Amino acid sequence: MKTDTKLLMLIVVFGLIALAPLLITQESLLNIVIMTLYAALLGQAWNILGGYGGQVSFGHAAYFGTGAYTVAVLQVQFGINPWIGLAAGGLAAAAVGAFIGLCTFRYGLRGSYFALVTLAFAEVLRILSNSVDFTGAGVGLLIPLERSAANFQFLTKAGFFWVIWAMTLAAFLTVWKIGNSRFGAQLMAVRDNEDAARALGVNAFRVKMGAIMLSGFFSGLAGVFYAQYFLYLDPYIAYGAAISVESLLVPIIGGMGTLFGPLLGAAFLHGLSELSRAVIGDAPGISLVLYGVLLVIMVLFVPRGLAGLASHLRSGKRAVSQAEGGNDRA
Amino acid sequence: MLEVSNLRAGYGAVEVLRGIDLSIDKGEIVTLLGSNGVGKTTFSAVVSGLMQPWSGSITFEGKSIAGLTPQAIVDEGLIQVPEGRHVFPNMTVRENLELGSYRRGRANRSRNIEHVAEIFPRLRERFSQNAGTLSGGEQQMLAIGRGMMAEPHLLILDEPSIGLSPLLVEEMFSLIKQLNTDGLTILLVEQNVLQSMEIADRAFVMENGEIKLSGIPADLMDDPELQRSYLGLA
Amino acid sequence: RAQAAPVKIGLIHPVSGFIAFSGSQCRAGAEMAIADINAAGGIKSMGGAMIEAMLADSQGKPDIGAAEVTKMTEAGVHGIVAGYSSAISLATSQEAAKTNTPHVVDVGVSDSIVTRGLANTFRFSPGYGKVAEMAVSNLDTINKTAGSPAKTAMIVHEESLFGTGTAELLSKQLPGIGIEVVDVIKHANPTRDFTNIALQIKSKQPDLIIPANYYNEYVLLARTLRQQKIEAMGIYSVLGGAASNLQFVNEFPEAAELIMDCNHWYDPKSDLALARRKAAEAKGLIYTYEIFLAYNAVAFLADAIERAGSTEPDAINAAMASSTWDQHGMPYGPTKIVNGQNESAQPVNTQVQKGAIEVIYPAEFASAETVFPMKM
Amino acid sequence: MTVLEINGLCKSFGGLQASQSVTLTVPQGGITSLIGPNGAGKTTLFALITGFHTPDSGSVRFLGEDITGLPPEAIAKRGMIRTFQTVQPFAGQTVRENIAVGAHLKIRGRAEALAKAEAVARQVGLGDRLDMDAASLTVAGRKRLEVARALATDPKLILFDEVLAGLNPSEIRDVIPVIHAIRDEGVTILLIEHVMQAVMSLSDYTWVLNQGAIIAEGPPKDVVSDPHVIEAYLGKGMAERIAKREAASA
Amino acid sequence: MPDSAIIIPSVLNGLTTGGLYALVALGLTLIYGVLHIINFAHGALLMLGLYAVYFLNVQFGIDPYVALLIVPPAMFALGYALQRGIIGRASHGRDENILLVTLGLSIIIENLSLFFFRSDTRTVDTPYSFDVIEIFGAFLPYPKVVAFIGALVTAALLWLLMSRTDLGRAIRALAKERKGAQLVGINADHVFAMSFGLGIACLGVAACLLLPSYYVNPQVGGGFVLIAFTIVVLGGMGSFVGALIGGLIIGVVEALGGLFLGESLGQIGIFLIFILVLIFRPTGLFGAKA
Ligand SMILES: Nc1ncnc2c1ncn2[C@@H]1O[C@H](COP(=O)(O)OP(=O)(O)OP(=O)(O)O)[C@@H](O)[C@H]1O
Ligand SMILES: Nc1ncnc2c1ncn2[C@@H]1O[C@H](COP(=O)(O)OP(=O)(O)OP(=O)(O)O)[C@@H](O)[C@H]1O
Ligand SMILES: [Mg+2]
Ligand SMILES: [Mg+2]
């Protein structure tokens, strides 16, 4: 697909999504759309570093939580308006990204080592936020209820919809630009072969730093959104493993290193979860069993992620890639 | 010994082998020539079970082996030394050799290691070095040595001379000749046309996924077509 | 006679995920309440309308809990009983507030749940402010009665909202009753090993050990105290200890003996309460506090609906706010709601004696005499 | 003028002296070759020059400046690019995208970089495989890709590590003019090669490395008759063959 | 500041706890460290092992240590079947798919357990549950000392297996060079499944040695997985000695961290040590150079 076709598609897709609050009257459905966009944002943030940069992170909660706590702490402790907190949250998360990047890329951590170290950083932040007072420690932080748009607490879900829509669109446009720029080309080169990239003059360290900061920034925005939507944070919600897992699950299901993957992945996962709950009802855990089974089945039949499937359907090829050698057993 | 007829295979929807017919008799050295990308490696991969044929038959020592798993084919004594070496980089030279007799020739493992070390004294010096840190040429020796460990009946060598110094290439070709004299049947896939023709009993030339020419080297060397497109003469 | 339209009560509990045990206990208790009410003729003021439960699983996550609230309000729910955990209760009550849907918190002990000024949010059981206050004053009485042998205490608490909040209040108030807090140890969930904590207790030799943690950690702690041969005058746990958990008492009778607990507990002198316990145990349930608190949360809501005679949110909320309901079998007295909180709710002190859980304090509910200090 | 000046470069791996005080120079504008038996330390020397290994001692000067110990990307930016003996394509990306990574060293814009990639691909004979996945190229195709990526950076000096390995004689004959053309554009070339046919017809000057040390240097036709070189590297058969060919072409 | 008299008991205790961690990590070393299969279901499978030990004890009165004869082989079979039948098949050779599949499996296993075993926390009561061994004034619980020894033995056995047997060599070969492995006749599917099975069998061992001093509920695995991953990477991917030492280090760091920083904040020590070690040795303590 040509890059300008992608941009066009992006605009069309987000244009269609923008119709949601106009067409959907049920708040619960709109909520699903909102949470799907939110998951797509988290996933796209991860995708920048993991999918395009090849640096698989198990600790994206570090950025999410930082964004969330930043906006909450500024409000609760300093009375600073959450719209300012929004920017501060994104930037603080990017700064955490820069710090983690410095500690890891500088010392040549790669692959599994990198993945686990990011997780360790998220844990360190969780434990810290559990111990210091200004985050409310284990008690958590409750953002006071003052519903008004000026206060980033909308009266209706539609208000929240527009915020998450804009954030997600920004993330997707950024990734589109990555796929179409020198930075992106260098990032993907580092992903595919760092030595070869460096031999061609790519400053791998700088490129990875750029990616981790961008990635952190968008995760941080997701955190800000979460904080304002639910108004309560504790260390597990903010820095727990669940966010890190969701961040990577979404783009992997959707297709790593693809522009639309995170959106497909988010829609699929939310659809799956709604479906399994609708089918099973409320026998404890059984709907989750179904969810797990469907997940495995989906991987069995769609091994290259949903975006991979989509591009295959479009080009009408068999579901095996040429590059992987078709019926090659290797 | 090996009988291939009308073999077709490819990647995805792209057909690379479009009906290959080829045969090797016991005790022969047969060389398979062809320009880059014509499908020689694909052919080796299909014969040794790494890839499934689309159609056609492969018979080895009277038994059909088309579509068998690689390990079943190894059991039959058909061993491939792959292009690109594919040695185990995280393991020592000795361990690489030991694994060569994972399925065949295990009983004679230590004797065979000794044998390989005699052929390639360089490997002996590097027995406890990780294969990943060997030089390109050393890795090539190791790959051949590993293949020898399985006491093959038929050895397929895919571009064994790649990356070897002229002296070693020379030595390798005489080694291949030597192995053959000792009773091993060999299929040699090569770009080094001149030298492989010198030792081969018969040669096949592949083009467009088919065998274009075949015969004994002396005759083929005079073929103007071959001279032009493979020897760079005229 | 035409069947009156059913009254829909939403039950949102974490029946899967990391707090699934408590969540399913809550659900079981709530469902028992609904069954009992229906068996007794439903909501009589509404023509015997049956109560219909709408079930949802929050999976232990506030966001899912809130989403379930939205779905339920759209499906015409008339009241919601939810939470178990404070974090989830905060999210569900706030979401329900948008539609003014009556919302009763069953267990969540955080006081911020009811202090946010949400007109739809009620809690029938005590919050941890009240629990800690009672824990201290009851302890004072117990200690004084025994001639004030206990001078020092050590608090061991889990790190989340309930443990931290409780520990904070306790460590502020204990010095006021002449008990010095020699150390406060906060630990993670899960903590895989309690030896360190036991060693610290051993080296500080407090008269009292005060744990405030969840069941898993409590089991390990109690076991380790024994292995490390630690002796104290008493183990006095606050919210969630052995002395109010029948499973622990059954599985570790020796370790549990004489441990005291300040916790939610039913009134052992109330026939109503005993009958409910029996009914629950007949179903194979372990009668933990989640069961009777959720039971009462539902019954309290149903009583309000009964008195409101309508499913109008405002009417139900008003009925709850003015409730004087007393059919709870709890050591509470008649309900008295202030800002959504039942002010008459209180914890009691229990002690394990000869393998049974006895109420020892306040005196009017006591089923046994306090044994303190315990001789080990 | 010398482009590259290596002085007393040493490197050892554990007990193995892979590079023993190597000193060599590469003059501007020509094609210099580096030959030597397998395991002599040629690739290691390339890695030392381009910053992938740090030398134990010795120095590397490029265009008159000391670049010893600089990271690979800094060296590449100054205009020295290496290729890899074990080819390292960006698998999963197309040939065009692979080459564009090189082009981006000097070019910021995406479209221009892609255009440059296309031009370079044509130059090295990959023009018909631009949209193929680099992973599905044959070994020889990947070698060309290595060359193309390096070329796309507009280098001043290219280090080729066995880019002709795996080509048959007629293909080698086809590639030789490509390399000449690169040199004619003003790019200095240092190449490692075992294909003597190419070494002979391409290079102006040859260095011979054996067991980490330089054992001979000079114009190729002198070097191939050096008995040390014949003994350590060429072998009698090849020496004779070369002599015969030289005689025939003379 | 903690009383200095409790530092030694605390360290000794940390070592025994570390032995338990090492046990859980050893299985993961094989699966994650050698084969690079990110097994998100590791904790769930540990939980299944613990339930197996629990039910053998409660239903048939089989002592957890006697269950060593039953549970590890059964877990091996389960692991083999899971890898061959599901994980290998669904992954199509892609790492990220393995991650998804094992995540899916862990969701399935945990929630099925929730359904069948209910969510109660359960413990076994053995005659030695409260026994202690006194060393240097420290009371070390008997089950933990046994587990510590078990970890040493398991690590030694695994090391022998990997370095001295053809199966071990085949596993290592396959991990790095699939095509080469196939060409020497290694049946990739079988060997992958064997190693997965072995890794899960290690979990079986861990379960038998863990239960006497611990508990089981459907979520119990979660508390060990993170630690196990940390240990594998800290020790160096694929190194059994590394996993053992890593486990002990983590045990001691946790103990001392708890003493000096408090039990909650002290957990930070584990991760800080981990980060620091990797910054200075990016391939872990005993990891081969990349
Ligand atoms: N994994 C793959 N996916 C798709 N196409 C492939 C793959 N591997 C090889 N091909 C294509 O198949 C054709 C034959 O390749 P093969 O490697 O068999 O050639 P070869 O004759 O061995 O060439 P060489 O002499 O360069 O080794 C080539 O056109 C190549 O591009
Ligand atoms: N990282 C390393 N650790 C240990 N030994 C190494 C390492 N890298 C290279 N060697 C050894 O150094 C020697 C030189 O290797 P190098 O790759 O430079 O040889 P080369 O001259 O390029 O050979 P070839 O022509 O076969 O490619 C070899 O013996 C090799 O085994
Ligand atoms: Mg080939
Ligand atoms: Mg080399």
- Do B61 and B153 contact (CB within 8 A), yes or no? yes
What are the sequence ranges of the domains in chain D? Answer: 2-249
Instruction: Determine contact: E289 vs chain A, CB below 8 A.
Output: no
What tokens does E134 get? 């006194």
DSSP-based three-state secondary structure for C8: strand
Instruction: Determine contact: B50 vs chain A, CB below 8 A.
Output: yes
Q: Report chain E's C-alpha Rg in angstroms.
A: 19
Taking 70 as the pLDDT cut, the residues of chain A under it are 1-3, 282, 314-330
Rounded to whole angstroms, how far apart are CA atoms E112 and C46? 41
What spatial distance separates the first Cα and last Cα of chain E, rounded to whole Å? 41
Q: At what angle do helices A204-230 and C62-74 cross, to 10 degrees?
A: 40
C-alpha of residue A188 to centroid of ligand 3, in Å: 28
Alpha-carbon gap: A104 to the closest alpha carbon of chain E (Å): 7
C-alpha of residue B159 to centroid of ligand 3, in Å: 7
Residue of D nearest to A197 (CA): D101
| pLDDT for E220 | 93
Angle formed at CA A23 by CA A19 and CA A24, multiple of 5 degrees: 110
Alpha-carbon gap: B104 to the closest alpha carbon of chain A (Å): 21
**HSE-CB of B212 using CA atoms within 13 angstroms:** 17
Residue C2 has pLDDT above 80, yes or no: no
**Per-residue pLDDT tens digits of chain E, which is 290 residues long:** 567 778 889 999 999 999 999 999 999 988 888 888 889 899 999 999 999 999 999 999 999 999 999 999 999 999 999 999 999 888 887 888 888 899 999 999 999 999 899 888 899 988 888 888 888 878 899 999 999 999 999 999 999 999 899 999 999 999 889 999 999 999 999 999 999 999 999 999 999 999 998 999 998 998 898 899 999 989 988 888 999 999 999 999 999 998 888 888 888 999 999 999 988 888 888 876 54
**HSE-CB of A260 using CA atoms within 13 angstroms:** 21
Alpha-carbon gap: B187 to the closest alpha carbon of chain D (Å): 17
A-E Cβ pairs (cutoff 8 Å, strict)? 131
Contact yes or no for C24 and E214 at CB 8 A: no
Contacts of A282 in chain C (CB under 8 A): 15, 55-57
Run of H or E residues at C107: none
Contacts of D133 in chain A (CB under 8 A): 322-323
Q: Phi/psi at D63 (nearest 5 deg)?
A: 50, 40
Lowest mean pLDDT segment, chosen from A274-288, D32-46, D195-209: A274-288
| Right CATH for D2-249 from 3.40.50.1000, 1.20.210.10, 3.40.1280.10, 3.40.50.300 | 3.40.50.300
Residues 149-188 of B with CB under 8 A from A: none
Q: Is the dihedral of CA B186, B190, B195, B197 positive or negative?
A: positive
Chain C neighbors (3+ CB pairs < 8 Å): A, E
- Do C319 and C305 contact (CB within 8 A), yes or no? yes
Contacts of E111 in chain C (CB under 8 A): 16
pLDDT in tens, B25-71: 999 999 999 888 889 999 999 999 999 999 999 999 999 999 999 99
Instruction: Determine contact: C193 vs chain E, CB below 8 A.
Output: yes
Atom of ligand 1 nearest to the CA of A323: 3
Chain A neighbors (3+ CB pairs < 8 Å): B, C, D, E
Segment C299-307 mean pLDDT: 96
Residues 6+ apart with CB under 8 A from C62: A230, A232, A237, C87, C88, C90, C91, C92
- Do A48 and A250 contact (CB within 8 A), yes or no? no
Name the residue facing E176 among B50, B81, B89 (closest C-beta): B89
Residue of A nearest to D92 (CA): A323
Name the residue facing C20 among E9, E119, E223 (closest C-beta): E119
Atom of ligand 2 nearest to the CA of D37: 25
B42 touches ligand 1 (CB under 6 Å): yes
Pick the closest to residue E191 from E95, E80, E39 (CA basis).
E80
Q: How many other CB atoms are there within 10 angstroms of residue C373's CB atom? A: 18
Q: Phi/psi at B59 (nearest 5 deg)?
A: -120, 130
Contact yes or no for A303 and E264 at CB 8 A: no
Q: At what angle do helices E188-210 and E142-164 cross, to 10 degrees?
A: 160
Rounded to whole angstroms, how far apart are CA atoms E157 and E241? 11
- Do C244 and C289 contact (CB within 8 A), yes or no? yes
Rounded to whole angstroms, how far apart are CA atoms A320 and D19? 46
CATH second-level architecture of E4-280? Answer: Orthogonal Bundle (1.10)
Rounded to whole angstroms, how far apart are CA atoms D7 and D45? 12
Run of H or E residues at C181: strand C180-187
Contact yes or no for A138 and C94 at CB 8 A: no
Q: Give the strand order in the sheet containing C180-187.
A: C180-187, C152-158, C208-212, C234-238, C260-263, C348-353, C356-361
Rounded to whole angstroms, how far apart are CA atoms A116 and A119? 5
Contacts of B13 in chain A (CB under 8 A): 317-318, 322
Q: Specify the long-range contacts of residues A281-284, CB closer than 8 Å, at least 24 apart.
A: A281/C55, A282/C15, A282/C55, A282/C56, A282/C57, A283/E115, A284/C15, A284/C16, A284/C20, A284/C23, A284/C24, A284/C27, A284/C57, A284/E114, A284/E115, A284/E119
Per the DSSP assignment, residues forming a β-bridge with B186 are: B29, B155
Instruction: Give the start-end residues of each E strand in A40-142.
Output: 141-142
Residues 6+ apart with CB under 8 A from E115: A283, A284, A285, A286, A289
Q: Phi/psi at A112 (nearest 5 deg)?
A: -60, -35
Contacts of E5 in chain C (CB under 8 A): 203
What tokens does D139 get? 């070994």
C-alpha of residue C32 to centroid of ligand 1, in Å: 70
Which of B36, B51, B192 has the most D C-beta neighbours within 10 Å, making it the best mutation to test the interface with D? B36
| pLDDT for A1 | 55
C-alpha of residue B37 to centroid of ligand 1, in Å: 5
B37 touches ligand 1 (CB under 6 Å): yes
Counting runs of H as helices and runs of E as strands, what totals does chain C give?
A: 12, 14
Run of H or E residues at C128: helix C128-145
Share of chain C above pLDDT 90, in %: 68
Residue C151 has pLDDT above 90, yes or no: yes
Residue C200 has pLDDT above 60, yes or no: yes
Per DSSP, B133 falls in state: G
Q: Phi/psi at A232 (nearest 5 deg)?
A: -140, 140
Residues 6+ apart with CB under 8 A from D248: none
B16 touches ligand 1 (CB under 6 Å): yes
Rounded to whole angstroms, how far apart are CA atoms C23 and C85? 9
Single-letter amino acid, residue C240 = G
DSSP-based three-state secondary structure for D165: coil
Single-letter amino acid, residue D18 = A
Burial class (CB within 10 angstroms; exposed 0-12, middle 13-18, buried 19+) of C40: exposed
Per DSSP, B216 falls in state: -
What tokens does E40 get? 């998100």
Contact yes or no for D50 and A199 at CB 8 A: yes
Rounded to whole angstroms, how far apart are CA atoms A289 and A284? 10
Instruction: Give the start-end residues of each E strand in D48-202.
Output: 57-62, 65-66, 80-82, 157-161, 188-192
What are the sequence ranges of the domains in chain E? Answer: 4-280
Contacts of C200 in chain E (CB under 8 A): 2-3, 6, 259
C-alpha of residue B16 to centroid of ligand 3, in Å: 12
Pick the closest to residue D6 from D82, D67, D52 (CA basis).
D67
What tokens does E289 get? 């150079």
**Are chains D and C touching, using the cut-off of 8 Å on CB pairs and a minimum of 3 such pairs?**
no
pTM, two decimals, is 0.92
- Which 3-state string (H, E, C) describes chain E? CCCHHHHHHHHHHHHHHHHHHHHHHHHHHHHHHHCCCCCCCHHHHHHHHHHHHHHHHHHHCCCCCHHHHCHHHHHHHHHHHHHHHHHHHHHCCCHHHHHHHHHHHHHHHHHHHHHHHCCCCECCCCCCCCCEEEECCEEEEHHHHHHHHHHHHHHHHHHHHHHHCHHHHHHHHHHHCHHHHHHCCCCHHHHHHHHHHHHHHHHHHHHHHHHHHCCECCCCCHHHHHHHHHHHHHHCCCCHHHHHHHHHHHHHHHHHHHHHHCCCHHHHHHHHHHHHHHHHCCCCCCCCCC
Q: Phi/psi at B188 (nearest 5 deg)?
A: -110, 115
Chain B neighbors (3+ CB pairs < 8 Å): A, D, E
Atom of ligand 2 nearest to the CA of B137: 26
Q: Phi/psi at D6 (nearest 5 deg)?
A: -110, 130
C-alpha of residue D45 to centroid of ligand 4, in Å: 9
How many angstroms separate the most distant Cα atoms in chain C? 73
D170 touches ligand 1 (CB under 6 Å): no
Residue D94 has pLDDT above 50, yes or no: yes
Better pLDDT: D212 or D170: D212
User: What's the whole-number average pLDDT of chain C?
Assistant: 91
| pLDDT for C162 | 82
Pick the closest to residue D194 from B167, B140, B159, B83 (CA basis).
B167
| pLDDT for C241 | 66
pLDDT in tens, B110-120: 999 999 999 88
What tokens does D215 get? 């054992």
Burial class (CB within 10 angstroms; exposed 0-12, middle 13-18, buried 19+) of C41: exposed
Alpha-carbon gap: A258 to the closest alpha carbon of chain B (Å): 22
Rounded to whole angstroms, how far apart are CA atoms D65 and E257? 51
DSSP-based three-state secondary structure for C326: coil
Contacts of D73 in chain A (CB under 8 A): 198, 201-204
Pick the closest to residue A169 from A6, A14, A8 (CA basis).
A14
| pLDDT for D250 | 66
Residue of C nearest to E137 (CA): C228
Residues 6+ apart with CB under 8 A from D114: D96, D100, D103
| pLDDT for B233 | 59
Q: Phi/psi at A323 (nearest 5 deg)?
A: -60, -30
Angle formed at CA D31 by CA B196 and CA D84, multiple of 5 degrees: 65
